[in-house]
Amino acid sequence: MNFPPATQFPPLILDDIKGAQKMLSGVSRVTAMEGSRHLTDLVGAPVRFKCENLQRTGSFKLRGAYVRIAGLSPVERAAGVVAASAGNHAQGVALASALLGVRATVFMPVGAPLPKVAATREYGARVRLHGHVVDETLAAAQEYAQETGAVFIHPFDHPDIIAGQGTVGLEILEQCPEVRTIVVGIGGGGLAAGIAVAVKAVRPDVRIVGVQAAGAAAYPPSLAAGHPVSIGSLQTMADGMKVGRPGDVPFPLIRDLVDEVRTVSEDELSSALLLCLERAKMVVEPAGASPVAALLSDPKSFRGPVVALLSGGNVDPLLMQRILTHGMSAAGRYLSLRLRLTDRPGALATMLAVLSVADANVLDVSHVRTDPRLGLTEAEVELHLETKGPEHCAEVAAALRDAGYLVLN
C-alpha cells in the first residue's frame, strides 16, 4: 500500500496532540515517573525515568494505534484493520481494535517471540505468521490490505500515530515541568517526532536527544543527506529499532525539532538493561533502555533535569537471559582466565581457596593435563568466574599472581 507523501498531510501541531490526549483519557495510562539516584549521581543533575514500559500492552504503541483507529470512518472500521509487527505495535493495534470493536489482523514474523504472539492473540487479533524479517511481514500485510480492503495501520508513518505518541511529551511536561533534556529512543521516528512537536511548542528551550542502536541507525545518514535513506544490514538486539529507513512523515519533524541523534553500542544497551533491572527494578526491553545507554556512555554531556523515556518492557525471557549475561560481561561482572599450576594432588583445591579468599564465585572449571604445550608436571586450568565489577576482576587476577600462579589471560 502506498501512502501519500509527507507533504500531502497537514502539518502536525500541538492541538492535534492535545486532541489525542483527550481521546486517550481512560484508555492509556498516565505512566509513572521515577527518579534514578545512580544516574543522577553520574550526570550531576536529577534524572527521571518516564515509565512507558508500564503502559497497557507494555509499551507506548497503544497510544498511536488507538488514535489512528479511532479516527477511521464507519466504512473503514467495518472493513477491519491490518498491521505488521514483531511485537509492540502488534499488541497496541490488537488492544486498540478490541476496545473500539474493530476486527484486526496482525502479521508477525515466523520467529516472533511466543509470548508476544500469545499476547497479541489474547487481545483479540487474528495473528498470521509470515516471513522471517519484518520487511517480509510488512509486505504481506500491505498485500492483505489491498486484497481485502482492510486499513493498514502503519507503526509510525502517519500523523495520527505520531499525535498519539506525542501525548507522552505532554505528560512529561506535566510531571516534570522543570525538565531541560528529554532522551528518547528512535526506530522509525513516530515517538520522537510526536514528543518533539508537543514539547517544543510549549518549551522550545528543552533539548531533545534521540538515540539509535549503532547497528540499526538509519537517522544519522538520513539527516546528513537531508532526506530519508535506506540502510542495508540491521544488526542489533533492539528489535524495536530494526527499521531500515526513517518514516517520511516523522523525518522532517525530527530533522527540524530534535536537537541531536546519538548511537549506542550493543554492550551499552545490555549494560543499560542490566542497570534498569538491578537499580530501578524495571523490566525494560533493549530499545526501551537505549536512553539509559546514552546516559551511561557520556553522562556529563546532558543538561539536567533529564527525563529518560523507557519506551517498552516486552522482552522475550530467552532473549532477556542472553542479554543479562552479555550485560554482566560488559559490566565486568564475569572474568574468564587461564592459568598454570603444578599437577599434584590438592593443587586445584589450593587454587580454589585463593579464589574463595578473593570472594570470586566459580561458575565453571576446565582442567587440562594433556596439552603438548604443558610441562611434565604442569596442568592448565580455565576458569569462568562471577565478580563484582572491573576493579574486583583486577583484584582476583592479582591475588592469583601473588599466590604464585602464572595467569595467561
Nearest to residue 240, comparing CAs of 211, 281, 261?
A: 211
Partners of residue 334 on adjacent β-strands: 386
Partners of residue 182 on adjacent β-strands: 208, 307
Kind of pairing between the strands at 306-310 and 47-51: parallel
3-state secondary structure of 46: coil
- From residue 401, give the alpha-carbon distance in Å to each of 333, 340, 345, 347, 395: 20, 11, 20, 15, 10
- From residue 397, give the alpha-carbon distance in Å to each of 3, 339, 355, 401: 60, 10, 9, 6
Which entry of 50, 61, 200, 242 is annotated as an active-site residue? 61
Kind of pairing between the strands at 47-51 and 33-35: antiparallel
Query: Active site includes 281?
Result: no
Query: Active site includes 50?
Result: no
Residues 6 or more apart in contact with residue 170 via CB below 8 angstroms: 17, 18, 21, 198
Q: Which residues are catalytic?
A: 61, 311
